[in-house]
Amino acid sequence: MKKSLLTILIAIMVVLAGCVSTKSDVSDKKNDNTEPKTDKSKVVIELLGMGSGEEDMNIVRDQLIKNGFDVKLNIQPDYGSFTAQKDAGNYDVALSSWTTVTGNPDYAVRALFKSDGDNSIMADDEVDALIEKASTETSDEFAETYKQLEQRLVFDKAYIAPLYNSFKAQGVNKDILDVDTVRLAKSRAIAWEPIDFIDKSKRDTDPLIIQQAIGTLTSLDPIKGNDGSINTLNTNMYVRLVNLTDDDVVVSDGSLSYNHSIAEGNSDYYFLLRDDINFASITDGKAVDTGERVGADDVIFSMNRAKDPNSVPDHRTYSLHEHINEVEVVTDLSDLDILQSGSDATVREGLEKNLDVKIGELVSDKKEADNATGKYQVVKMTTTAPFPQVLNYLAHQSAGIVSKKQVESINTYDVSSFDVSKDIPYGDQNTVTEGAKYNNTLYASGPYILSHKNDYEGIFYKNPAYMVGTEHEPKISNVTVRFIQDPDSTLSALRNGEIHIFNGVPETKYDVVEGDSKLFLQKNDSNAVSYLLFNTKNREVSTSEELRKAVLYSINQDEILNFYQGNKKKAVSTVSPLVDTGNELKADPAKVQEFLNDYKAGN
More confident residue, 32 or 269: 269
Mean pLDDT of 476-486: 96
Q: What is the DSSP string of 437-460?
A: T------B-SSEEEEEE-SSEEEE
The percentage of residues in the chain with a pLDDT greater than 90, rounded to a whole number, is 80
Per-residue pLDDT, 568: 92
CA distance 40 to 38: 6
pLDDT at 28 exceeding the cut of 50: no
Angle (CA) 52 58 61, round 5°: 130
Per-residue pLDDT, 40: 62
Mean pLDDT of 574-586: 95
Q: Which of 127-136, 137-146, 325-334 has the highest mean pLDDT?
A: 325-334
Strands (E) in 228-374, as ranges, are 243-244, 250-251, 257-262, 268-273, 278-283, 286-293, 324-330, 361-362
CA distance 235 to 215: 16
Least confident residue range of 110-114, 440-444, 451-455, 553-557: 110-114
pLDDT at 261 exceeding the cut of 80: yes
Q: What is the model's pTM?
A: 0.79
Work out the pLDDT band at 143, boundaries 50, 70, 90.
Answer: very high
Whole-angstrom distance between the N-terminal and C-terminal Cα of the chain?
37
Name the phi and psi angles at 170, rounded to 5. -140, 145
Work out the pLDDT band at 39, boundaries 50, 70, 90.
Answer: low
Could you give the domains of the chain?
A: 5-166+526-602 (3.40.190.10), 177-490 (3.40.190.10)
More confident residue, 17 or 451: 451
Mean pLDDT of 478-492: 96
Identify whether the C-beta of residue 339 lies closer than 8 Å to the C-beta of residue 349: no
Mean pLDDT of 494-512: 94
Per-residue pLDDT, 13: 36
Identify whether the C-beta of residue 216 lies closer than 8 Å to the C-beta of residue 429: yes
Mean pLDDT of 534-559: 95
Number of residues assigned to the chain: 603
pLDDT per position as a tens digit, 316-338: 899 889 999 999 999 999 999 99
Q: What is the DSSP string of 30-70?
A: HT--SPPP--TTSPEEEEEEEGGGHHHHHHHHHHHHHTT-E
Per-residue pLDDT, 101: 85
Work out the pLDDT band at 255, boundaries 50, 70, 90.
Answer: very high
Per-residue pLDDT, 116: 83
Measuring CA to CA, which residue among 419, 392, 422, 506 is closest to residue 52? 506
Identify whether the C-beta of residue 328 lies closer than 8 Å to the C-beta of residue 364: no
Mean pLDDT of 380-388: 92
Q: At what angle do helices 105-113 and 125-135 cross, to 10 degrees?
A: 150
Per-residue pLDDT, 97: 93
CA distance 526 to 547: 31
pLDDT at 270 exceeding the cut of 60: yes
pLDDT at 29 exceeding the cut of 90: no
pLDDT at 16 exceeding the cut of 70: no
- Measure Cα distances from 339 to 274, 335, 473, 514 in Å: 23, 11, 34, 51
pLDDT at 9 exceeding the cut of 50: no
pLDDT at 186 exceeding the cut of 70: yes
Measuring CA to CA, which residue among 546, 524, 547, 429 is closest to residue 99? 524
Name the phi and psi angles at 52, rounded to 5. -70, -15
Measuring CA to CA, which residue among 94, 153, 145 is closest to residue 124? 153
Chain Cα centroid distance, residue 391:
16
Q: At what angle do helices 142-150 and 125-135 cross, to 10 degrees?
A: 160
pLDDT per position as a tens digit, 590-602: 999 999 999 998 8
Work out the pLDDT band at 158, boundaries 50, 70, 90.
Answer: very high
Q: At what angle do helices 545-552 and 589-602 cross, to 10 degrees?
A: 160
